[in-house]
Amino acid sequence: MTKLINFYNAILGKLDLLQPLLLLAARFYVAWVFFKAGLTKLRDWESTLLLFEYEYAVPVLNFEVAAYLATFGEIVLPILLVIGLLGRKAAIGLFIVNYIAVVSFEDMPAAALNEHILWGALMVLVAVWGAGKLSLDNLMKIK
């Protein structure tokens, strides 16, 4: 029985080596998606404002404020996420941006909703576990 336990622990030890790489991949993937969305908003600001005024129903906020906040979040938070600086806070921030996007767009197709769920789940992982060993947070000993 001891040999079986030792073998099991050895296998799990090898799997632990993958955690920093998988967290890094999750950070890069979600950051790239949101950064591209932010750049799109910046490229055509007039269209962005029109979308926020007529298409997205962001609760509580004025459409212009919502457009500025969403664009800021989609540009700045992915940069922090990629370098792993304040990774948990960046992940929570992108989770909020993602959540607001889902509740604000009433006619979201099912395929798009599935992507938002994936991005949200990946951000929850980073928020819970942190940015991982391959991050500035780890280098600077930031929780």
Q: 64 to each of 8, 36, 41, 49, 77, how far by Cα in Å?
A: 55, 20, 12, 6, 19
pLDDT for position 35? 98
pLDDT one digit per residue (tens) for the chain, 143 residues: 888 888 888 888 888 889 999 999 999 999 999 999 999 999 999 999 999 999 888 888 999 999 999 999 999 999 999 999 999 999 999 999 999 999 988 888 999 999 999 999 999 999 999 999 999 999 999 87
The full set of domain ranges for the chain reads 19-139
pLDDT for position 93? 98
This prediction's pTM: 0.89
